[in-house]
Amino acid sequence: MLRENLKKEIDNLNSEQLKKIADFIASIKFQSRQVASSVPIWQKLTPAERAKEFREWVSQLPKSGVSLPDEALSRDSIYEE
């Protein structure tokens, strides 16, 4: 019902009014894209998809094998005496 009524109203508009309607529609589409893009990816994905994305990210990290020495992880080495 609403769609038919809007179509009838649009048929009666002049070109300037149609341009304003087109601009308004473009604005609404832009706003909906902004809202969709502002949702964090972790809210869009299922837990399985998040796990897959995380594993893919980890697989791209450098595999140097270099690690910190045990002394660097010791609490005693953090504080000076």
pLDDT tens digit string along 42-77?
788 899 999 999 999 998 888 877 788 888 888 887
pLDDT of residue 74: 81
pLDDT band at 81 (very low <50, low <70, confident <90, very high): low
Residue 79 has pLDDT above 90, yes or no: no
Q: How far is Cα 35 from Cα 37, in angstroms, rounded to an integer?
A: 5
pLDDT tens digit string along 6-43?
999 999 999 999 999 999 999 888 888 776 667 777 78
Cα Rg, the chain, nearest whole Å: 28
